[in-house]
Amino acid sequence: MNYAEIKNNDIANGEGVRVSLFVSGCTHHCEGCFNPMTWDFGYGQEFTNETIDSILEMLSPPYIKGLTLLGGEPMEPDNQRALLPLLKRVRERNSQKTIWCYTGYLFDKELLSPSRARCEVTDELLSMIDVLVDGEFVLAKKNIMLQFRGSENQRIIDVKKSLSSGEVVMYTPVSGKL
């Protein structure tokens, strides 16, 4: 897997101050995408064990609330396989940090059901994600007033509660409002 960028001290892509990893590779090609260069799986730098170590170091300060995965498309099967070791190490070292993930795939219809997005690591990867912002960006539904999402069709899902209950549960932010 390649990645386009790592942002430390990001406040736009999830609650609190976060480390954000922008992966490369996306097959959605949403009209109006803010990051079209990341559609190319070969764009950017190679994701290595040293990259993981660097991200873990960035996550270590107590003011960093967690890690956000976006891109590109973190839930492309090849990207899932590359991200799994990172998420395992984050959970081992920083169990109190939250993990957010942005995906164009629908949680219930494409990640939990048979689809081109599912692979042998999908369930394990999802079990380590706290919040999933799902759904493709839809330019006709773009709304700059939305917090943590770009278009009105996108959902902010509490993954752990959803997996536990067997139905989609929307995320309730710490502040109580989105």
Rg (CA), the chain: 15
For residue 76, being part of any structural domain is answered with: yes
pTM listed for this prediction = 0.95
Instruction: Report if residue 174 sits inside a domain.
Output: no
Residue 4 sits at φ, ψ, to 5 deg, of -90, -40
**What is the percentage of the chain residues whose pLDDT exceeds 70?**
98
What is d(CA 34, CA 5) in angstroms, rounded to the nearest whole number?
14
C-alpha angle 141-11-41 in degrees, rounded to nearest 5: 65
| Residue 73 falls inside a structural domain | yes
Range of the domain at 61: 2-165
Answer whether residue 149 is part of any domain: yes
| Total domains present in the chain | 1
pLDDT digits (tens, 9 = 90+) for 111-120: 999 999 999 9
CATH number at residue 38: 3.20.20.70
Residue 109 domain flag: yes
Question: Residue holding tokens 């976006």?
Answer: 70
Q: 45: left (phi > 0), else alpha (psi -120 to 50), else beta?
A: beta
Is 177 a domain residue? no
Query: Which pLDDT score, from 0 to 100, does residue 94 have?
Result: 76
Given this model, what pLDDT does residue 95 score?
80
pLDDT tens by residue, 126-176: 999 999 999 999 999 999 999 999 999 999 999 999 999 999 999 988 766
Indicate the DSSP class of residue 14: S
User: CA neighbours within 13 Å on the CB side: how many for 38?
Assistant: 24
* Rounded mean pLDDT, 74-86: 98
| E-only strand ranges, the chain | 2-10, 17-23, 45-46, 64-71, 98-102, 131-134, 155-158
**Does 80 map to a domain?**
yes
Whether residue 175 lies inside any domain: the answer is: no
